[in-house]
Chain A
Amino acid sequence: MNFARRTAQASSDLLLPQLTALMAYHRQACPAYARVLEATGHPRTRRYQQLAELPWLPVRLFKEHALVSTAADPVTTLTSSGTTGAGASRIALDREAAERQRHMLIATLVNLVGPQRLPLLIIDAPSAVRQQRATIRGATVLGVMNIGRDPVFALDEDLEVNAVAIDHFLQRHAGSDFLIFGFTFLVWSRFYSYVRSRAADLSHAVLLHTGGWKKLADQAVTAEVFRGGFREHTGLTRCHNFYGMVEQGGTIHVESASGDGLYCPDHADVIIRDPLTWQEAAIGTLGVIEVLSTTPRAHPGHILLTEDLGMLLGVDDGEWPGKRFAVAGRLPKAEPRGCSDTLAQGVVS
């Protein structure tokens, strides 16, 4: 599948008017956001020529303040899965915003895997969707379930391998395409060890995984080791990491099958900024990741400066058109709060 379809310039040309209009919408709908814009040199009258000129909010704001752009009753408040709660973002969603996120996530995944719902093996416990739906972990599992059929959970409630479930799933779907989804740390620490020991054939699988790499990096498991291990021992070649965050739900940046970087979906973009000058960092230079998305409607999360370090790897020169980038980890002072970091701590300690 050709996941990213536009060149970087075409994408930017398309997104600039949409994001400018969205800024105006949030300025109207969220007085606190309007005050931030006024105070940072972005009055109503200002015009923009490039995405990089648009004002961003630091994601940390959503941990400290309730920024809301909807008068409707929130249907849910999504939190990042921080264990303490102190460092968690709380994002209010009304029904329309929640549906919009769901549709954007599904459209992105359909671009990647096609319109047919394939059998789905979820590397998580069944309670991930039943009890954790208000966390980004549960919401992500549930979101991915929309593109799968006959979902099977590969782990038990203690997050240990459910060998019977996995074996039965692989037998049942042997020889035809199927999906595997899970958080990166669980996929590696639970599922990979098991399928490797069983010499399972995953050559028909598409693996989607997400979440931080911190715990794996501590074990010297890099993206290359991860992909190479699956390829060599299970025959799995279609492996896609994706990057997203609760403050911009429904927007995920997806790694190409060849692993040459993360690519933005149709409705989003990314800018890497030099932390000293805040100018756009050159290709190959480490900086702070800014994410832009036309999805957020119930909170002003459309342009965010993340607490993640990253690097632009290239522009219109990879497997797909558009920018390709890599995430290099958290900013040194940032608290860990991502799904897999939290899971990792919970599981390992």
Chain B
Amino acid sequence: MSLAIRLRNVFNTVLELDGKTTDADLRYQETPGWDSLGAVLLISAMEDEFHVQIGTNQALQIDTFDAAVKLLRGLGVQDQTPCP
């Protein structure tokens, strides 16, 4: 499964999104649920899903879905290739 799909699933679960919002429209303080508490919960859920550790300052930079994708790639997370 691609990183973006797995990440979107995390967003959908934590922020209780309906799936209609596009990835590009997800923004901190604009998307319902993605407030300061949502942000804290989202970072924890991302760490659990991708088995990474996100630093305090890195967490502060996640203000769009795309920023979260870039951070995870920077931490070495890759798209999963399906098993043959």
Could you list which residues of chain A lie within 8 angstroms of chain B, going by C-beta atoms? 75, 95, 98-99, 102-103, 106, 109-110, 115-117, 129-130, 133, 142, 145-147, 149-151
Contact = CB atoms under 8 A, between A and B. Distances in A.
A117 B56 contact: yes
B57 A145 contact: no
A198 B7 CA distance: 41
Interface of B: 29, 36-37, 39-40, 43-44, 47, 53-57, 59-60
A106 B60 contact: yes
Given A102-B36, A129-B37, A133-B37, A115 B57 contact: yes
Nearest to B47: A149
Contacts of B43: 117
A6 B46 CA distance: 37
A99 B60 CA distance: 10
Given A117-B54, A149-B47, A103 B60 contact: yes
A95 B54 CA distance: 24
Contact of B29 (A95, A103, A115, A151): A95
B29 A99 contact: yes
Contacts, number: 43
Main SS of the interface on chain A?
helix
Contacts of A106: 56, 60
Q: Which among B39, B47, B54, B60 has the greatest number of chain A C-beta atoms within 10 A? A: B60
B61 to A, nearest CB: 11
Given A95-B29, A103-B60, A146 B55 contact: no
The 10 closest A-B pairs by CB, nearest first: A115-B55, A145-B40, A147-B56, A110-B56, A115-B56, A117-B56, A95-B29, A115-B57, A142-B36, A142-B37
B55 A116 contact: yes
18 contacts: A75-B29, A99-B29, A103-B60, A106-B60, A109-B56, A110-B56, A116-B56, A117-B53, A117-B55, A117-B59, A142-B40, A145-B40, A146-B40, A147-B56, A149-B47, A149-B53, A150-B44, A151-B40
Given A102-B36, A150-B44, A116 B60 contact: no
Contacts of A75: 29
A146 B37 contact: no
A75 B59 CA distance: 22
Q: Which among A116, A130, A133, A146 has the greatest number of chain B C-beta atoms within 10 A? A: A146
Contacts of B47: 149
A133 B72 CA distance: 29
A75 B35 CA distance: 10
A110 B40 contact: no
B54 to A, nearest CB: 7
Nearest to A98: B36
Contact of A116 (B37, B39, B44, B53): B53
A100 to B, nearest CB: 12
Contacts of B39: 146
Contacts of B55: 115-117
Given A102-B36, A133-B37, A146 B56 contact: yes
A106 B54 CA distance: 14
